[in-house]
Amino acid sequence: MEKYSRLISVSGRTFRTSETMGDIFLAHVSDITERLVTELVPLLHEGGVDMLLIGPTSQIIVAEIPDTVPVDLSGADITGAHITGSHSMGTAA
């Protein structure tokens, strides 16, 4: 069974992903923001696959989910790190 250890929030929508898928998604987002273009980016997450429109002004927030903390996504609020624009990829704990 896949371990979903990251929360990724894109423009207000939150997805629970694996570490690997989160890394792949963020690498693609970083490339897009560096090139100052807008593209659809696939994100494989706990609920399936979504195509997300990502551009230089997209708001992306990433949070790690500790192994010892249960996560209920119905009320998830990961507003800690606010990331926008190019060269702004990061991880909030």
- E-strand spans in the chain? 4-10, 13-18, 39-45, 48-54, 60-64
- Spell out the alpha helix ranges (H) of the chain: 19-35
Question: What average pLDDT score do residues 34-63 get?
Answer: 94
Which residue reads 């090139």 in tokens? 35
Token pair for residue 42?
A: 């696939």
Q: Share the mean pLDDT of the chain.
A: 80
Task: State the Rg of the chain over Cα.
Answer: 12
The reported pLDDT for the residue numbered 25 is: 95
The reported pLDDT for the residue numbered 82 is: 43
- Rounded to the nearest angstrom, the gap between the alpha carbon of residue 67 and the centroid of all alpha carbons in its chain is 18
- pLDDT tens for each residue of 53-84: 999 889 999 999 887 555 565 665 555 544 44
